[in-house]
Amino acid sequence: MKTHLNRRTLLKGLGTVSVGLPLLEEMITANALGAALAKVPVRAFNVFFGLGIPAPLQTEGFDDVLEPLKPLSKKLLIMRNVDHVRCDVRGINAHFDGATASFTAQPAGGEAKAGGPSIDQMVRHAHHPQGLPAGMVPTLVAGTFFRRSRVGRYHHSYTLDGTVAARMQEKPRDLFDRVFGTLANANDADARAQRLKRSVLDSVVDQYRFYTGPNSPLGAASKGRVKDHLDRIREFEQRAFALPHKNGKGP
């Protein structure tokens, strides 16, 4: 009888590092005992479109463009026909601070402060009132923007007191470092050279050896698939960090 492996199995390293596995034969083997699936961790994210979505497209919902997301429709919310008008009070000008109300539903608290917490932070504090587990990135904000005169025009994640929850990561490289960490005490040239040697796989090497070693619950075909999968990850890392750095202000 083959060992059953949960489809959500990850190779987990230090901090927030985790590496997903490809679909293996052991993941699709029926479990005769009907054991309960592992609990899915609570995660939440928001996507903000600064200039909005054309009205005709809003009525489509999960048809047409968003049809690939239809299987997840019960877990996703499309906010439509929202007319908060900067929540009607306070603020200096909706063009400057109106966006702070997007995920807070409260009037602006200033040019660099929202009137209350955003949805993502409410979810975070509801499920982890005593704080997140050690080693986790508390809030990750990624994106790009071109109107930079005021924080409220481009930032949409706010803590319980309305202050900015985290600095936005515009560059993919900065986003990577925010999740996986940076090299300490190294100048730019040294850090660039070390990036080519560093890998997210370094922190999961023990689990890799287990799943590909003699005591692994996987069959020969699955072992080979895991090895190929991790090889592709390493190749992607090397290509990403070997790109010439032509513009310091570019992504």
Exposed / middle / buried, residue 140 (Cβ in 10 Å: 0-12, 13-18, 19+): middle
Residue 8 clears pLDDT 50, i.e. is over it: yes
191-218 tens-digit pLDDT: 555 554 556 566 666 777 777 778 777 7
CA–CA dist 113, 99 (Å, integer)? 11
What pLDDT band is residue 250 in, cutting at 50, 70 and 90?
A: very low
CB 113 within 8 A of CB 163: yes
- Yes or no: say if 109 and 89 are a contact pair by the CB < 8 Å rule: no
Range list of β-strands (E), 2-137: 10-12, 18-20
pLDDT in tens, 211-241: 777 877 777 777 777 777 777 776 666 666 5
The pLDDT score that the predictor gives to residue 198 is 56
pLDDT band at 46 (very low <50, low <70, confident <90, very high): confident
Over residues 27-35, mean pLDDT: 52
Sign of CA dihedral 183, 156, 127, 106: positive
Domain ranges across the chain? 82-173, 180-241
Reduce the DSSP state of residue 208 to 3 states and report it: helix
Range from 2-6, 143-147, 149-153, 213-217 carrying the lowest mean pLDDT: 2-6
pLDDT in tens, 101-113: 778 888 877 777 8
